[in-house]
Amino acid sequence: MSDEIYAEHVATLGDRLTAAREAAGLSVDALASELGVRPETLEGWEADQAEPTAPLLSQIAARLAVDADWLMMGTGTGPQQQAPAAGQSELHELRRLLAEASRQLGRLEEALKHG
């Protein structure tokens, strides 16, 4: 993000979420899919129109490799301070696959309930 749009001392949760998502190289659609939420929901969080629940905030922080405290208050480790970890892309891919498998499992369970 450019300095005109994002300044750490005035950044909101939505600003930090957007910055972390972009630093991770993820689109809104990709992150929303991994989290199991609609893209519009994620866009609402990024626009500070709503906030994710605590469990989702923890999941977001883990996925984006930032501290949950950084997302909420700007303290702790944000995307700028990170050194690329070995295997990070493999971890991201495994998390994506796990999220997709979880969604498929939910759909299958629903289909089996309704015969």
Q: What is the pLDDT along the chain (115 residues), one digit of tens a residue?
A: 444 455 566 789 999 999 999 998 899 999 999 999 999 999 999 999 999 999 999 999 999 999 999 999 888 888 865 445 556 667 777 777 888 888 888 889 889 988 7
Q: What's the whole-model pTM score? A: 0.64
Is 85 inside a domain boundary? yes
For residue 102, what are the domain limits? 8-113
2 assigned to some structural domain: no
Tell me what pLDDT residue 6 has. Answer: 52
- The answer to whether residue 73 is domain-embedded is yes
**Cα–Cα distance, 99 to 95 (Å, whole number):** 6
The rounded radius of gyration (Å) of the Cα atoms in the chain is 15
- What is the number of domains present in the chain? 1
The pLDDT score that the predictor gives to residue 85 is 57
Domain for residue 29, yes or no? yes
Of 31, 81, 73, residue with least CA distance to 56: 31
Q: Is residue 47 a part of any domain in this protein?
A: yes
State the pLDDT at residue 80.
67
Q: Decide if 46 contacts 14 (C-beta within 8 A).
A: yes
User: Does the residue 3 lie in any domain?
Assistant: no
Alpha-carbon distances of 12 from 16, 52, 55, 95, 107, rounded to whole Å: 6, 13, 19, 26, 35
Find the CATH number of the domain harbouring 72.
1.10.260.40
